[in-house]
Chain A
């Protein structure tokens, strides 16, 4: 292609000049005159020599310019004498044009002739490649992706609306019960006054909160409606493989005087085993394996974790057993604890230096029936469970351990604290050592920075006396220990 374009270009340039060249010979000048002087042709001609030089590459002129030169040949004839074959100039080219070029001197002439012939073949039009076409087929990938995105957006809107309807249905069915038991129903924590908002707080497209407070026997109750992620298409597809269900989590925080010291948990066997490993208080205070609830008239699927038998006996009265038996499939776990601090904290440096803060809490986790395919009507089925929650709050307030139980509970707590202190002993020593060194360094720096030499001396003496006293004290202690040991 590039060769053809070069040929074209050179032909366009060369074409007119070759015509002029032929015209000059019409004057009848004898070529023999040029033998003597190689440059004579340049002198005689009216045109500038540059035009002559350009005629040198005509041998490579394209076949498309051939018709032009054929015309030129018709117009002017050139007489050549023998012995002029030695000319390297363009003279010989005028006569023969392309068909009579000396094969020895010129390369590619045969090809040119061939290309000349191919001009007569019909044109082959190739189809434009797909990526250069401007049709729908070339955009199939984009269409697919946009369709996927549209499907995701549709699912988002539908899922979000469904979750919202379920939450509203739950609140509508429970509103009356909550408003009769709590002074403050619905609070987002932003208003200055404690005024009931009367609506759920939307934390997420699938999590709704409700805070209730203002009741005797409890500080407050946080209800979390944790729905499945219906708004996320990926989650919807994942749930087709592994079904998940909507949950209602209720966390009741109690005042210090509202609960005695005990830890108790009840729930499905799988969940109890998991909680015993993960939760701080259950792992420390309920070391035994979960016991079956059948002993207390509960379904076999439920297990009990308790600090002591007295607590279980106290909690599992007739009404409670009735509630649990009738709604066993909706209960995932019930957890009452005066030492609740959440899951075990795993820190990188090892054990934390301080025991985690505990709060007297009642935790309930309920499963919404429907296994993901919940309808707003299913929310009414959770109302008896809310009644159970209110009943439990009052029950826990009334439940008091006897003397033995109290002693046992206190001993347990002291044991846990002692274990914790032992484990962290090394770290606490290290921390204390660091603090002491820090103090010494600060004091030394203060003494060094003191400008007055007299004051410096006095400060140094004072610190030396203090250190001496400490050493003496330690020695006294060691002596006392030795005496005691003896």
Chain B
């Protein structure tokens, strides 16, 4: 695992502002401290996280189970819609394979119904 140092120096060329246009442009090499980006942890701020994809995922699972057990086709269709909505609202940090795998089993009750 790469260790990323939070604060790193960076050399920059800075042009000084000229008061008089006849003066030559002065360029300095300045060392500036750059702080690296840290993704905000959702544990510290659970209210900021959008719960829609999780709720839709759960609803989709429930409806697909109902559709399968009770042989209700409309349940299965709602489950497919829920999985699509969950996918549309999901965070891109989640695994694409995991997201793709959810509509597949949910559509099976439609075929059996």
B residues less than 8 Å from A156 (CB atoms): 88
B77 near A187 with CB under 8 A, answer no
B4 near A189 with CB under 8 A, answer yes
A342 near B81 with CB under 8 A, answer no
B residues less than 8 Å from A183 (CB atoms): 10, 12, 32, 34
A142 and B93 CA atoms in complex are apart in Å by 33
Interface of A is mostly: mixed
A232 and B81 CA atoms in complex are apart in Å by 11
Partner of B92, one of A184, A204, A234, A343: A204
B88 near A205 with CB under 8 A, answer yes
List the one stretch of B20-28, B36-44, B63-71 in contact with chain A: B36-44
Closest to A357 in B: B44
Is A126 among interface residues, defined by CB-CB distance under 8 A? Answer: no
State how many residues of chain B have any CB contact under 8 Å with chain A: 29
Is A219 among interface residues, defined by CB-CB distance under 8 A? Answer: yes
A202 near B92 with CB under 8 A, answer yes
B36 near A219 with CB under 8 A, answer no
State how many residues of chain A have any CB contact under 8 Å with chain B: 38
B89 near A229 with CB under 8 A, answer yes
B32 near A216 with CB under 8 A, answer yes
A222 and B40 CA atoms in complex are apart in Å by 10
Is B8 among interface residues, defined by CB-CB distance under 8 A? Answer: yes
Q: Given A192-B2, A203-B91, A204-B91, check contact A184 B34 (CB 8 Å).
A: yes
State how many angstroms separate the Cβ of B40 from the closest Cβ of chain A. Answer: 8
A214 near B73 with CB under 8 A, answer no
A141 and B76 CA atoms in complex are apart in Å by 12
A141 and B110 CA atoms in complex are apart in Å by 11
A192 near B4 with CB under 8 A, answer yes
A194 near B10 with CB under 8 A, answer yes
Which residues in B have some Cβ–Cβ distance to A below 8 Å?
2, 4, 8, 10, 12, 32-39, 44-45, 47, 73, 77, 80-81, 84-85, 88-93, 110
* A156-B88, A184-B34, A190-B2 known, 19 other contacts, Cβ within 8 Å: A183-B10, A183-B32, A184-B10, A187-B37, A189-B36, A189-B39, A190-B4, A194-B36, A202-B92, A204-B89, A204-B91, A214-B10, A214-B12, A220-B35, A220-B37, A231-B88, A232-B85, A234-B85, A342-B44
